[in-house]
Amino acid sequence: MMLSPESYYEEYLKGKTKEQIMTAIRGLKQEIGYLKNTMENPEYGIKEIVHPSEDTRLHWTRECLERARQAYDEAGGTYILSKSEQKTVDFDANMDAIGRITFSIGGYFGGYRSYVVELRDGLKAYTKLWEDEEPLSLWDDDNEEPFTKITFIETLKELHIGEWRRRYSTERFGYTVCDGTQWDLEFKYNNGQRPVRFNGDNSYPYNFFDEFQMLFGIDVTKEYDED
């Protein structure tokens, strides 16, 4: 059974010194890293997933970590962000300044498709199969709850993209894959911030398929059935 942040505080953090709380923080961060690596492994999903799932555990471990940081400050400590945590904070801080997002995915034999979301004036989303092809609307008119710029950014924040690795490869898990699927994700900003890019070769972030692509209006099952 997963503990809520307050239950976790009561059982493991309440009355502890800042040094003891920092030990708990390190343990939570290690657990988050372990869960992400498990879900990003190419073999993940082959075996039956037990409950609570890694995704559920990741969500609540992240919540408990936030509560532990708060407890550390309450105990007289000053929590210092790691480099990876600072990278996440910087990425999130510039979300409101995103002007254009381009997501491309495909392979040598099947071609590449680009999905583009422009947030400069309102919100416009479209897809292109070829560079010179007329773009098609990414979200059709039957969408009962179309995104606005505000709701799109709020949903984007929930994906924790700032925590993603800049580069994903199966080599991290000891696999070498020829051809297959490559993807590239680029964020461009309208406040002078340098573009931020993520990419991968047959390897993906833990929430890439079920959450990220759905945000772009991509029917993952349909896309890969067609391939």
User: Do 98 and 29 fall into the same domain?
Assistant: no
Whether 86 is in a domain gets the answer: no
Q: Is residue 17 part of a domain?
A: yes
Q: Are residues 12 and 58 in the same domain?
A: yes
Other Cβ atoms less than 10 A from the Cβ of 110: the count is: 12
Same domain for 122 and 72: no
Q: In terms of domains, do 102 and 208 share one?
A: yes
Task: Please give the tally of structural domains in the chain.
Answer: 2
45/97 same-domain check: no
pLDDT at residue number 1: 55
- Residue 222 lies inside a defined structural domain of this protein: yes
Judge whether residue 136 has pLDDT over 60: no
Q: Are residues 96 and 58 in the same domain?
A: no
Same domain, 105 and 49: no
Note whether residue 87 is domain-resident: no
Residue 227 has pLDDT above 50, yes or no: no
Query: 86-101, pLDDT tens digit by residue?
Result: 999 999 999 999 999 9
Identify whether 117 is part of a domain. yes
Q: Which pLDDT score is estimated for 119?
A: 87
116 and 216 assigned to the same domain:
yes
78-92, 113-127, 138-152, 163-177, range with the lowest pLDDT? 138-152
So what's the pLDDT on residue 100?
Answer: 92
Which of 30, 49, 80 is the last residue before a domain boundary? 80
Range of the structural domain that residue 149 is part of = 92-226
Residue 207 lies inside a defined structural domain of this protein: yes
Asked if the structure places residue 36 within a domain, the reply is: yes
**SS3 annotation, the chain:** CCCCHHHHHHHHHCCCCHHHHHHHHHHHHHHHHHHHHHHHCCCCCCCCCCCCCHHHHHHHHHHHHHHHHHHHHHCCCCCCCCHHHHHHHHHHHCHHHEEEEEEEEEECCCEEEEEEEECCCCCEEEEECCCCCCCEECCCCCCCCCCCHHHHHHHHHCCCHHHCCCEEEHHHHCCCCCCCCEEEEEEEECCCCCCEEEEEECCCCCCHHHHHHHHCCCCHHHHHHHC
Residue 211 has pLDDT above 80, yes or no: yes
Give the model's confidence band at 221: pLDDT under 50 very low, under 70 low, under 90 confident, else very high.
low
Q: Answer yes or no: do 58 and 26 share one domain.
A: yes
- Residue range 137-153, pLDDT digits in tens: 555 545 445 678 888 89
**Claim to verify: residue 69 and residue 125 sit in the same structural domain:** no
Instruction: For residues 76 and 121, state if they share a domain.
Output: no
